[in-house]
Structure 1
Amino acid sequence: MPLFLTAALPLLAGCADDGTDGKAVPAPVSSAGPDDFGCLSPEQARTGSVTFPAADGQQVEAYTTGTGSTALVLAHQADGDVCQWVPDATRLAKDGYRVVAVNSAGSEVAELTAAVAYVRARGAGKVLLIGASKGGTAALSAAGSITPAVDAVVSLSAPTAYGGMDASTVVPRLTMPVLYMAAHLDTAFADSTRQLSRATGRAPVNDLWIVSGARHGVSMLGDETNFARVEAFLKKYGR
């Protein structure tokens, strides 16, 4: 190959002919599509993958589905991500709720506070928080500082404290209905759930369900009886 042609090849790399006058033009650069979180269908990602800012400057990623004037903000477990909530989010959306499952990557309280602001800006008249395990600790902690207050909270297998959050110091101040649920054989979390419920002194409703089995957090909702209990609570205080 002639030397001058070999030297010219790097200059042409990444370029394309425009097909009219032989001049080289930059090749198109592909743009990333909406985040599928590793579990969403292309349609779910296109219509439901959202990002919104938190007060501390972080960008919060979430999956949203459904419509309606009542919004449910979901917080996942430490061993999961937004994908953990997608099946239940789909089911709750069919019940008529607007659902936002937050993909936690930082300060959970700031993320949930931002999610509540996000749904309220889009017309939600009522907002309820649902958290599983450390997400339950986050939901209870956030409920103590969000203004105006959320309408109700559901805590599934929450520890009293996690990662700098101490829900046991917050729940005595809560003034909205709270539902606590944990499994009897999920011993440490059943104990922490009882402790949190006992400390919740001002809430007008303080429902405590210690259910059978050893399921933890989100997995408890795989039992239809447990799901029905949560569903009834949401309907009563979210409609």
Structure 2
Amino acid sequence: MRATIGLAGLLVVLTACGGTVSTTTAAPPPATPTTPSATTAGPTPTPTPSPVVTGPNVSGCFTEDDGRIFTYGDDLPGVVTGKGETGVVITYERNGNVCTWRPLSDRLVAAGYRVLLYARDSRTPPEDVAVAMAKRLAKEKGVKRLFFVGGSIGATTAPLAAARLGGRTAGIVALSGAIDPGDAAKITAPLLQIGTENDGYGGAADLQAAHAAATKAAADELLVVKGESAHASAMFGASYGPQVLDRVLTFMNRHRQPGKG
């Protein structure tokens, strides 16, 4: 059963596998603080310089304090962080990096997931390397099932990678993806799509087309933020970012075990 619910801040289209549909309205953004006048403002604080990262790391955002750093291909780095039985492979948007995905990664690790993030050559579609990363993570001791999480092109190709992994796929989370309806029609794993209404790639029209086609998915959930245009991981830093992160975690917790939903 599909339900389309228009909210003041969010448009939610949700199909859960036999579950109850529930929605919450995004809290209004906080009021913009008034800038103090030149006569009352104190001296401009000196910015604190970012620490210099030395040693193995991924884009300066993940170090050996976060998890195990590895390299692949032409010495491109990746990291496995967390110790859960359910793995998550995160593939960022073209011209992006792992840094903007840290808010989601930290939430997932705290919730008991094992997360793999990796740097990649953004000139090529990420399907093949996403599959390779999934197979790498699947070999980790204790990992039983995996989610594919992607932004933009990483979201668009996530269903293709998930299909190649097969039965160990727990679900697909696509942020600002433009999944081809033909590919969406083949999805059998649980699917969650999130995007903003006015995004030029992976906006409302792209998301709705894939949602309508994903009739074989074990669950087919869609959340569109109305009136906004933030793309992929940029949503995490927006006023509605906490709702997006909560939505992803709720979906994954629901489907981390086989047969749940």
TM, length-normalised to structure 2: 0.68
Aligned residues, how many? 196
Pairing 1:102–2:121 present: no
Which residue is equivalent to 2:210?
196
SS of 1:230's equivalent in the other structure is helix
Residue deviations 1:162-212 (CA, integer Å, cap 9, x gap) = xxxxx4432211111101111123255221111111121211211111123
Residue deviations 1:73-95 (CA, integer Å, cap 9, x gap) = 10101130122222321221111
Pairing 1:174–2:170 present: no
Q: Which has the higher contact order (CA 8 A, sep 6+)?
A: 2
Which residue is equivalent to 2:233?
218
Contact 1:141 / 1:171 at 8 angstroms: preserved in 2?
no
**1:1-239 maps to which residues of 2 (within 5 A)?**
33-41=55-63, 43-44=65-66, 47-52=67-72, 61-105=77-121, 106-122=124-140, 123-160=142-179, 167-186=180-199, 188-190=201-203, 191-212=205-226, 213-222=228-237, 223-239=241-257
CA RMSD of aligned residues (A): 2.2
**Structure 2 stretches lacking a partner, 5+ long:** 1-53
**Structure 1 stretches lacking a partner, 5+ long:** 1-31, 161-166
Residue deviations 1:118-175 (CA, integer Å, cap 9, x gap) = 1111131110111111110121221222233411001111124xxxxxx443221111
Percent identity of paired positions between Structure 1 and Structure 2: 24
Larger helix fraction of residues: 1
